[in-house]
Amino acid sequence: MLVDSHCHLDYPEFADLADVVRRAEAAGVGAMLTIGTELSRFPAVLAVAEAQPNIYCTVGVHPHEAGKGEMVQLDELLRLADHPKVVGFGETGLDYFYERSPRAQQQKSFRIHIEAARRLQLPLIVHTRDADDDTMAILKDEMKQGAFPGLIHCFSASAEFATEAVELGFYISISGIVTFNKAQNVRDAIKDVPLERFLVETDAPYLAPIPFRGKPNEPAYTRYTAAKLAEIKGVSEDEIETVTTDNFYRLFTKAPRPAEGF
| Residue pLDDT, tens place only, 137-171 | 999 999 999 999 999 999 999 999 999 999 999 99
Tell me the binding residues for a divalent metal cation. Answer: 6, 8, 91, 127, 153, 203
Tell me the binding residues. Answer: 6, 8, 91, 127, 153, 203
Query: What per-residue confidence (pLDDT) applies to 7?
Result: 98
Q: Tell me the average pLDDT across 228-236.
A: 98
Query: What per-residue confidence (pLDDT) applies to 254?
Result: 98
Task: Provide the edge-to-edge strand list for the sheet that holds 171-174.
Answer: 2-7, 29-34, 55-59, 86-95, 124-129, 150-152, 171-174, 198-200
Backbone CA torsion sign across 32, 167, 190, 109: positive
Its pTM stands at: 0.97
Mean pLDDT score of the chain: 97
Say if 261 falls within a structural domain. Answer: no
Query: What per-residue confidence (pLDDT) applies to 260?
Result: 60
Q: Are 179 and 208 within 8 A, CB to CB?
A: no
Supply the range of the domain harboring residue 224: 2-251
Residue 262 scores a pLDDT above 70 = no
pLDDT digits (tens, 9 = 90+) for 57-96: 999 999 999 999 999 999 999 999 999 999 999 999 999 9
Q: Tell me the average pLDDT across 184-211.
A: 98
Q: What are phi and psi for residue 220, nearest 5 degrees?
A: -55, -25
Residue 259 scores a pLDDT above 80 = no
The residue type at 47: A
Say if 60 falls within a structural domain. Answer: yes
Q: Are 76 and 39 within 8 A, CB to CB?
A: yes
Q: CA angle, 137 as apex, 188 and 79 as ends, to 5°?
A: 105
Q: Where are the alpha helices (DSSP H) in 144-201?
A: 159-167, 184-189
CA distance 148 to 120: 9
Give the lowest-confidence range in 72-81, 235-244, 252-261.
252-261
Name the domain count of the chain.
1
CA distance 49 to 35: 10
Say if 237 falls within a structural domain. Answer: yes
Query: What per-residue confidence (pLDDT) applies to 36?
Result: 98
Say if 259 falls within a structural domain. Answer: no
Share of the chain above pLDDT 70, in %: 99
Rg (CA), the chain: 17
Say if 172 falls within a structural domain. Answer: yes
Say if 262 falls within a structural domain. Answer: no
pLDDT digits (tens, 9 = 90+) for 13-25: 999 999 999 999 9
Q: Tell me the average pLDDT across 102-113.
A: 98
- Give the domain CATH number at 45: 3.20.20.140
Say if 46 falls within a structural domain. Answer: yes
